[in-house]
């Protein structure tokens, strides 16, 4: 791929410290919004009007909400805002991938990546700042600061991408954002409540209206929450498997010590709504000499036998100081051939946006390094 780095500098637009505290509309469900509006002495239908302007039309400016009177607009603008996260860096790859580095008011940063493909456009969103888990091949797991993203911060990533992609009004033909994957920073099932609330808002037919079939939640294997996500949200499930023996998985994906493979596979086998049309995606990062042997492949196929499955072989994306190497192309091919022979289609994930460090956690780290260099702090 040719490397064409197009980077747009972004102004710092943090709100003034004395600005009145207004609530973000991006974190309110229709019922929450209605309750607040009724509590403010306004009729219920105002909630429906406001909801459509925000979620159907993507408006952030109350003055553009043409069916609201001047007094109501003023009242709303004192109570609420629909601000997006602040973009501190925007990188566009020569393959069309766009990556935004976002900053939240407390100074923390997260990443969102848009990956266009022939017949779909996928937005990869973050669910936490950093991650409490410490998978040994994942750079996010080495970042110290960790907190959950709020519902508004999760939805804010989708809204920002829709603004930038020109996707309003929601649901228009030829929209560019067609799918969402929760595969950015963080473990979504450790932030279940906020992730679930955000996905319900994004799925709401009165708003963005994205179908649950177009949303995929990726988890390292928080077994007790898997069933709940299936029953309550019905989104697609992806599992970061990466190893097929407990001993190795304990090392690569340490949550395995708490929820070992047998329990994980059992939860997946029983995932609600599973069928040939709705399969589990197994993510398997290819690590040279670690998990990529023919024997690993055989055990992998035996492990998932009978579960409607898709396999996703991910070439390992190295980061500075990472203890692994990506398997060679022949090894990946040989592994993929065996997977194909067993009846699973197109399993190797093509790396996208490599010229803009589109892999999990990399842009954030690069920007931290740059800042440290500027301020003279070693790291
Ligand atoms: N915490 C969740 C979702 C975020 S990670 C999870 O672990 O599933 C999204 C995917 O990227 C996971 O499958 C993860 O294992 C994979 N991943 C993380 N670091 C990687 C790297 N350096 N190279 C390739 N894949 C990586
Ligand atoms: Fe966290 Fe997922 Fe990275 Fe593991 S792979 S450290 S669960 S973000």
Domain ranges of the chain: 23-81, 86-374
pLDDT at residue 14 above 80? Answer: no
Check pocket membership of 240 for ligand 1, CB cut-off 6 A: yes
Rounded-to-integer distance, Cα 267 and Cα 307, Å: 11
Taking a C-beta distance cutoff of 8 angstroms, is the pair 225, 194 a contact?
A: no
pLDDT at residue 360 above 80? Answer: no
Rounded-to-integer distance, Cα 30 and Cα 264, Å: 34
Torsion of CA 97, 215, 80, 58, to 10 degrees: 60
Rounded-to-integer distance, Cα 366 and Cα 379, Å: 11
pLDDT at residue 364 above 70? Answer: no
Atom of ligand 2 nearest to the CA of 139: 3
Check pocket membership of 149 for ligand 2, CB cut-off 6 A: no
The bound ligand whose nearest atom lies closest to the alpha carbon of 255 is: 2
pLDDT at residue 355 above 90? Answer: no
Residue 311's nearest CA partner among 320, 301, 299, 319 is 301
Taking a C-beta distance cutoff of 8 angstroms, is the pair 91, 102 a contact?
A: no
Q: What is the DSSP letter of 184?
A: S
Check pocket membership of 110 for ligand 2, CB cut-off 6 A: no
Measured in whole angstroms, how far is the alpha carbon of residue 65 from the centre of its chain? Answer: 30
Question: What are the pLDDT digits (tens) for 155-176?
Answer: 999 999 999 999 999 999 999 9
Nearest CA to ligand 1 atom 22: 317
pLDDT at residue 375 above 90? Answer: no
Core vs surface per residue 60-84: b (16+ CB within 10 A) or e: eebeebeebeeebbebbeebbbbbb
At the second CATH level, the architecture of 23-81 is Orthogonal Bundle (1.10)
Do the domains at 23-81 and 86-374 have one common CATH topology? Answer: no
328 alpha carbon to ligand 1 midpoint, in Å? 19
CB atoms under 10 Å from CB of 314, counted, come to 20
Rounded-to-integer distance, Cα 50 and Cα 60, Å: 11
Q: What is the DSSP letter of 343?
A: T
Section 316-344 average pLDDT: 93
- Check residue 372 and give its pLDDT: 46
- Residue with token string 């946006």: 353
pLDDT at residue 338 above 80? Answer: yes
The answer to whether 111 is a known catalytic residue is: yes
C-alpha atoms less than 13 angstroms from C-alpha of 259 in its C-beta half-sphere: 19
Section 146-161 average pLDDT: 97
Taking a C-beta distance cutoff of 8 angstroms, is the pair 297, 335 a contact?
A: yes
378 alpha carbon to ligand 1 midpoint, in Å? 27
- Check residue 145 and give its pLDDT: 82
The answer to whether 34 is a known catalytic residue is: no
Atom of ligand 1 nearest to the CA of 238: 8
pLDDT at residue 376 above 50? Answer: no
pTM over 0.75: yes
Give the dihedral sign, CA 13/14/18/23: positive
Question: What are the pLDDT digits (tens) for 68-109?
Answer: 999 999 999 999 999 999 999 999 999 899 999 999 999 999
- Check residue 347 and give its pLDDT: 76
Taking a C-beta distance cutoff of 8 angstroms, is the pair 127, 188 a contact?
A: yes
Distance set, CA 322 to CA 51, 137, 325, 353 (Å): 45, 7, 8, 20
Question: What are the pLDDT digits (tens) for 281-305?
Answer: 999 999 999 999 999 999 999 999 9
- Check residue 373 and give its pLDDT: 45
Check pocket membership of 191 for ligand 2, CB cut-off 6 A: no
CATH topology (fold) of 86-374: TIM Barrel (3.20.20)
Measured in whole angstroms, how far is the alpha carbon of residue 271 from the centre of its chain? Answer: 21
Section 31-45 average pLDDT: 96
For residue 193, what is the enclosing H or E element? helix 192-203
Cβ-Cβ contacts under 8 Å for 278 (sequence gap 6 or more): 213, 236, 308
Residue 216's nearest CA partner among 228, 230, 227 is 230
């Amino acid at each position: 791929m040719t490397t064409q780095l197009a980077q747009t500098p972004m102004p710092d637009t943090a709100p003034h410290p004395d600005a009145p505290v207004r609530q973000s509309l991006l974190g309110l469900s229709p019922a929450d919004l209605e309750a607040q509006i009724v509590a403010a002495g306004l009729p219920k239908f105002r909630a429906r009007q406001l909801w459509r302007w925000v979620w159907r039309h993507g408006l952030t400016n109350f003055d553009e909400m043409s069916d609201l009177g001047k007094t109501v607009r003023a009242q709303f603008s004192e109570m609420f805002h629909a601000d997006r996260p602040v973009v501190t860096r925007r990188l566009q790859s020569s393959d069309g991938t766009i990556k935004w580095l976002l900053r939240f008011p407390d100074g923390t940063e997260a990443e969102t990546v848009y990956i266009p493909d022939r017949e779909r456009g996928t937005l990869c969103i973050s669910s936490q700042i950093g991650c409490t888990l410490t998978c040994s091949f994942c750079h996010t797991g080495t970042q110290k600061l960790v907190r959950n993203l709020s519902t508004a911060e999760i939805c804010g990533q989708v809204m920002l991408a829709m603004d930038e992609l020109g996707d309003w009004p929601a649901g228009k033909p030829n929209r560019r954002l067609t799918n969402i994957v929760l595969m950015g920073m963080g473990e979504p099932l450790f932030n279940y409540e906020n992730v679930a609330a955000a996905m319900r808002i994004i799925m709401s037919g009165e708003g963005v209206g994205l179908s649950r079939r177009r949303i995929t939640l990726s988890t390292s294997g928080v077994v007790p929450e898997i069933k709940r996500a299936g029953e309550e949200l019905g989104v697609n499930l992806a599992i970061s498997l990466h190893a097929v023996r407990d001993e190795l998985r304990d090392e690569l994906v340490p949550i395995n010590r708490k929820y070992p493979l047998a329990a994980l596979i059992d939860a997946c086998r029983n995932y609600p709504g599973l069928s040939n049309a709705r399969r589990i995606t197994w993510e398997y990062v290819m690590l040279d000499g670690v998990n990529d042997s023919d024997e690993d492949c055989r055990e992998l196929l035996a492990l998932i036998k009978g579960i409607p499955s898709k396999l996703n072989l991910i070439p390992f994306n190295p980061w500075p100081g990472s203890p692994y190497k990506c398997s060679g192309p022949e090894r990946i091919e040989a592994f993929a051939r065996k997977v194909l022979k067993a009846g699973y289609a197109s399993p190797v994930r093509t790396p996208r946006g490599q010229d803009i460090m589109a892999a999990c956690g990399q842009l954030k780290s690069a920007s931290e390094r740059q800042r440290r260099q500027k301020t003279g702090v070693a790291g």
